[in-house]
Chains A and B, each alone.
Chain A
Amino acid sequence: MEDTSVVQLHQNKPEDECPNLSLRPLDVSDIDAFMVWATDAKVARFCTWEPYTNKEDGLSFIKNTVVPHPWLRAICVEDRPIGTISVTSNSGNDKCRGELGYVLASKYWGRGIATRAVGMVAETIFDEWPHLERLEALVDVENLGSQRVLEKAGFQREGVLRKYVVLKGRSRDMVMFSLLSTDHRPT
């Protein structure tokens, strides 16, 4: 028999590897968990923020942005936060639209967790916000992992918006995805 070394590919593990995925509000008592992903440059790469360097800034963010946010939840494994997922709201002629965003600690990447969290939000947000018709998400053209998350969660890719945002001083092309309240959502 040949002696071969087998390269273990990092595949999506079965759902029962993460049985207790839940969403709940995030507050200041979660600061230590928050700092795990907030200080990680890999996580911050496609975000508007630079990695956090001190707890004070983390606490400010939680108090000033997280707590008053229209819809933000911690993504939890065994009730411990490993990231967040949020939906912004709009008013007037734009109230039909909400923008989805999420962030996940890099140690938990590649296991389908973000896809499941997105699916959980898609299941409830249209009921919680009856005025919402369209959930959209903008993903950097180079952020292939996040594009796959949204595709697997049933979002439709609508197009590439050129130089749509300025992120950390550079113009970025963004892919626009959307999920409508009337779209079939994978369960």
Chain B
Amino acid sequence: MEIELSKISLRPFKLEDADDFFLFAGDDQFTMNLRWKTLTSKQEALDHIKDVCIPHPWRRSICIDDRSIGFVSIFPFSGEEDKFKANFGIGVAVKYWGHGIATRAARMAVSQFFVDFPEVVRLEAFVDVENLGSQRVVEKAGFQKEGVLRKYAYVKGKLRDLVLYSFLSTDFHAAQAEAD
């Protein structure tokens, strides 16, 4: 399968994405490293879009030809002290792995996010030490590896070592200045 990366776009989720959403989020392999439970019905997909995706501060559907094949989520922390930080998460349908789609979507998302949320200084991504695919995605998208945080948190009931990555607004502006 050849994928033209220029066909990748980001847009907000719509209720109409429920079937496509269920296709990828109904897969254990997709949700393995996420905190989400694997979806078991189209109704759950509809509910997830309505209750989580749509009200989310910044979640986008990753689309090929406007069909949803994944998500990218950036969640600013709440509270006066922490609103300069945000958490980055991404997932692409398993059948589309290995084409650079997540990397392209991550780059697009980061650029758009820093424009939409100018008060955010630090974007961080936590990736399981064993999830080499996602580590490559965030590294190629320009995140900087800061370290491995040992036994940092439980994900799906298992205590994990997580690699912490960051992308600063100053990294973004520096990259932009170079490009100009």
Q: Which residues in A have some Cβ–Cβ distance to B below 8 Å? A: 92-97, 133-134, 136, 156, 158-166, 171, 176, 178, 180
Task: List 12 other contacts, CB 8 Å, given A162-B144, A178-B151.
Answer: A93-B153, A96-B152, A97-B153, A133-B151, A134-B151, A134-B152, A158-B149, A161-B146, A163-B122, A163-B168, A171-B121, A176-B147
Closest to B83 in A: A166
Contacts of A94 in B (CB 8 A): 153-154
Q: Is the interface of B mostly helix, strand, loop or mixed?
A: strand
Chain B residues whose C-beta falls within 8 Å of the C-beta of A92 in the assembled complex: 154
Listed by A's residue number, 11 A-B pairs whose Cβ atoms lie within 8 Å are A92-B154, A93-B153, A95-B154, A96-B153, A134-B151, A134-B152, A159-B148, A162-B144, A163-B166, A163-B168, A164-B122
Given contacts A158-B147, A163-B168, contact A97 B152 (CB under 8 A): yes
CA distance A169 to B134 in the complex (A): 34
The answer, yes or no, to whether B159 is at the interface (CB within 8 Å) is: yes
A180 engages B150 (CB within 8 Å): yes
B121–A93 touching, CB < 8 Å: no
Q: B4 in the interface, Cβ–Cβ < 8 Å? A: no
User: B85 — which chain A residues lie within 8 A by C-beta?
Assistant: 164
Chain A residues in 8 Å Cβ range of B152 = 96-97, 134
Q: Inside 8 A of B151's CB, which chain A residues have their CB?
A: 96-97, 133-134, 178, 180
The 6 closest A-B pairs by CB, nearest first: A159-B147, A158-B147, A93-B154, A159-B146, A133-B151, A134-B151
Asked if A159 and B164 sit within 8 Å, CB to CB, the answer is: yes
Closest Cβ–Cβ distance, residue B140 to chain A (whole Å): 19
In the complex, the answer to whether A96 meets B159 with C-beta atoms within 8 Å is yes
B residues sitting closer than 8 Å to A (CB atoms) are 35, 81, 84-85, 121-122, 144-155, 159, 164, 166, 168
Chain A positions within 8 Å of B155 at CB level: 93
> Is there contact, CB below 8 Å, between B154 and A158?
no
Q: Which residue of B lies closest to A171 (CB)?
A: B121
Q: Is the CB of B164 within 8 A of A161?
A: yes
Check if B150 sits within 8 Å of A163, measured CB to CB. Answer: no
Cβ-defined partner of A134 (8 Å) among B121, B148, B150: B150
Provide the residues of chain B in CB contact with A156, threshold 8 Å. 150
Task: Say yes or no: A160-B146 contact (C-beta < 8 A), given A94-B153, A97-B152, A97-B153.
Answer: yes
Q: With a CB–CB cut-off of 8 A, which chain A residues contact B35?
A: 93
Whether A178 and B153, one on each chain, are in contact in the complex, defined by CB atoms closer than 8 angstroms, is: no
Question: B149 and A178: CB pair below 8 A?
Answer: yes
A-side contacts of B81, CB under 8 Å: 165-166
Residues of the A chain whose Cβ atoms lie less than 8 Å from the Cβ of B84: 163, 166, 171
Could you say which residues of chain A place their CB within 8 Å of the CB of B144? 162
Residue among B121, B151, B159 having the largest count of chain A Cβ atoms under 10 Å: B151
A39 to B110, CA, bound (A): 43
Shortest C-beta distance, A34 to chain B (Å), equals: 24
Q: In whole angstroms, how far apart are the Cα atoms of A176 and B124 in the complex?
A: 15
B84: nearest residue on chain A (CB-CB)?
A: A166
**A residues near B150, Cβ cutoff 8 Å:** 134, 156, 158, 178, 180
